[in-house]
Structure 1
Amino acid sequence: MPDGSLPPSRPLRDADSLAEAGLVPAAALPALRAVAARYAVSVTPAMAALIDPTDPADPIAAQYVPDAAELEVAPLELADPIADHAHTPVKGVVHRYPDRALLKPLLACPVYCRFCFRREQVGPSGGVLSEAELEAALDWFAAHPQVREAILTGGDPLMLSPRRLGQILGRLSAMPHIDIIRLHTRVPVADPARVTAKLAEALESEKAVFLCLHANHAREFTDAARLALRHLSRAGVALLGQAVLLRGVNDTAETLEALLRTMLAHRVKPYYLHQLDRAPGTARFEVPIAEGRALLESLRGRVTGLAWPTYALDLPGGQGKAPIGPDFASRAEGGWTVRGPLGGGHFQADAEPPGPAGAG
């Protein structure tokens, strides 16, 4: 840990263990016990080792260590902000888009983010689908040939044993209409020791496999995380990255640029930058959309296009993710005015429609 003390040897799962590790003051325990009674807590040794307990604004602590503000629910916050329940045809499946669906085999995570939009659902009990429930979920995928992409999420699917995960991927891979299998996870950064050769082998498939890594700050990419991501890359897994724009974590041009560049350096292509979902008790993390747009605009032309994520808002009610990033083009008479990210601009006149065949 930054203060020189030894990190814990096991996950910290309650307020008292956080205090014993020196990550929260003893005076805060009554309030934090109340938070932990409502929302799951877990800080892995890998993440605890990154926290500087002397820094009240530490960006790693902000993501994982509970705060009394979580008990303050704002009027616009929703228990199910993206309407998972309304789009669940069978337990463990969420179907919003015509060509893809989520499979949630469990609701346990290595760490519990303090801004999680499923914070009312996830927890250490795991919410693991029973054999019958998993069969029903997989049968649903088999019965819907319009679904071309299966997205494993939860919870964190890499918390499953390699055997169990391999069985699920095997079943999905055997479905002729499934072209893509995607997994959303924090494990390679939050608990990199779980990424073993057996786990990487479980992800091998004849189908295209994409792993979408959730990380919000460059410091999360430790040497152990780099090794874990190399294991996955060598197994043929394409690596994508997603982050949530968070006040006090990555809400400056410098921290956001560092995150995006660090993802790329670890062979992770930035995919999504999410606007915060308004889950209960998360208001302290929200960055206004106008500020988020300005941040991304400031990076256009400053970082490679490979680092450019889609800035998106997951619309309440399950209406899907809408891009909300900065605009560089605006309609003008007879064409478009396009601002240059390196300065200046250009008027792009509308093309003349083609003449009739054989004219001239």
Structure 2
Amino acid sequence: MEPTIRSAAGLVAAGLLPAALQADAAAVAKRYAIAVSPAVAALIDRADPADPIARQYVPDAAELVTAPWEIDDPTADAPFTPIKGVVHRYPDRALLKPLLACPVYCRFCFRREVVGPGGGVLTDAELDAALDWFAATTAITEVILTGGDPLMLAPRRLARIVARLSAIPHVQVIRLHTRVPVADPARVTEALVAALDSEKAVFICVHANHAREFSIAARDACRRLTAGGIPLLGQSVLLRGVNDSTAALEDLFRAMLRSRIKPYYLHQLDNAPGTARFRVPPEEGLALVGALRGRVTGLAWPTYVVEAPGGAGKRLVSAA
């Protein structure tokens, strides 16, 4: 299999970027990581300069322009970090970030200032300290593994984390947020599925933004997960030029259902630096989502949410 593309030159060589834009993309890469997996590269229509898959992953010079409303930590993780690798924003649940590497790097990522190929992997001591924090914090009933992408971990390390969390009496739910099933579906092996086995409730939330991301390989990966007894939820970001039409959203949510994924959240774009080209105003988003009513089953209806300022958590999007 071809390697993941990690440079502007590699994008040009693969036909994913015009040679005239290589210097601009290389400048972006000095600040924000590039990664386009073979599975994603195969989905991109090289003849379409506005391809919605390419738009999500191929760097653009506009990323180096920060709009006045954009900030480095739009979800305010830092103030809610009691110990390295943990974010505790809600009373009953907290994030565990065992690494900061992903199979691909989205050009709109709200953690784009910290994720990258360096990985940000917690050391054994740091991971043990984080897991000890969960064991000691009895209010926590749900642990959300994110990052980075937790399915980038080796199955043995992932199994160790799941086992430690499963042994904590007050933890009832383990949730994992991931791009892997659509961006690197070959990674969803029997060993990885087995690593997620637990007597506790385990859910996987799959991030996808366009119906074409559900390739045959991606659907097979999702089927392997559901065959392992793991329910799948879907989360998406409303993105200009990717899914900013009612038809595109309908296709996306129907594609999720065909892959046994229940659409869960549609996110308003977080105000990360250099992401203004993806922004869809909330009032437009509300109209798009509202137009789905009567066109799709309630099973295909996600909750449209936005992160409140200052780390106050998710709230429903309103026109106000």
TM-score (norm 2): 0.99
Distance 1:92 1:316 in 2: 21
Question: How far did residue 54 of structure 1 move?
Answer: 1.6
The alignment status of 1:227 with 2:225, answered yes or no, reads: no
* Structure 2 unaligned blocks of 5 or more: none
Corresponding residue for 1:86?
79
Q: Separation in 2 of the partners of 1:136 and 1:317?
A: 26
Matching residue's letter, 2:123:
S
Find the counterpart in structure 2 of residue 240 from structure 1. Answer: 233
**In 2, Cα distance between the equivalents of 1:75 and 1:324?**
21
Matched position secondary structure for 2:82: coil
Deviation per residue, 1:34-76 (Å, 9 max, x gap): 1001000000000001111221110000000000110011010
Aligned to 2:67: 74
Find the counterpart in structure 2 of residue 174 from structure 1: 167
1:143 aligns with 2:143: no
**1:97 and 1:307 mapped to 2: Cα distance?**
27
Alignment of 1:13-52 (within 5 A): 13-52=6-45
1:302 is matched with which residue? 295
User: What SS does the corresponding residue of 1:271 show, helix, strand or coil?
Assistant: strand
Higher relative contact order (CA 8 A, sep 6+): 2
Matches within 5 A, 1:274-285: 274-285=267-278
Q: What is the correspondence of 1:126-275 to structure 2 with a 5 Å cutoff?
A: 126-275=119-268
CA distance in 1, matches of 2:298, 2:7: 41
- CA shift digits 1:152-173 (9 cap, x unpaired): 0000000000000000000000
Cα displacement string for residues 131-181 of structure 1 (whole angstroms, at most 9, x for unaligned residues): 110011001000001000000000000000000000000000000000000
Provide, for residues 187-246 of structure 1, a one-character-per-residue CA deviation record: whole Å limited to 9, x for no partner: 000000000000000111100000000000000000001110111001111100000000
Q: Deviations over 1:228-282 (max 9, x none)?
A: 0111001111100000000000000100000001101110000000000010000
- Residues 283 and 318, structure 2, Cα contact 8 Å, conserved in 1: no
TM-score by length of 1: 0.88
Does the 8 A contact of 2:205 with 2:234 survive in 1? yes
Percent identity of equivalent pairs = 68
Aligned residues: 320
1:108-123, aligned counterparts within 5 Å? Answer: 108-123=101-116
Structure 1: gaps (5+ residues)? 1-7, 328-360
| Contact 1:296 1:326 (8 Å CA) reproduced | no
Aligned CA-pair RMSD: 1.1
Say whether the 8 Å CA contact 1:310–1:323 is kept in structure 2.
Answer: yes
Runs of 4+ in structure 1 off by over 6 angstroms are none
CA distance in 2, matches of 1:325, 1:148: 29
Q: Could you say which structure has the higher helix fraction?
A: 2
1:125 corresponds to which of 113, 118, 132: 118
Q: 1:292-331 to 2 correspondence within 5 Å?
A: 292-324=285-317
Residue 5 of structure 2 is matched in structure 1 by: 12
> Secondary structure of 1:121's match?
coil
Task: State whether residues 245 and 251 of structure 1, in contact with CA within 8 Å, keep that contact through their aligned partners in structure 2.
Answer: yes
Distance 2:265 2:224 in 1: 23
* Cα distance between partner residues in 2 of 1:192 and 1:325: 35
Name the CA distance, whole Å, in 2 between partners of 1:108 and 1:316.
26
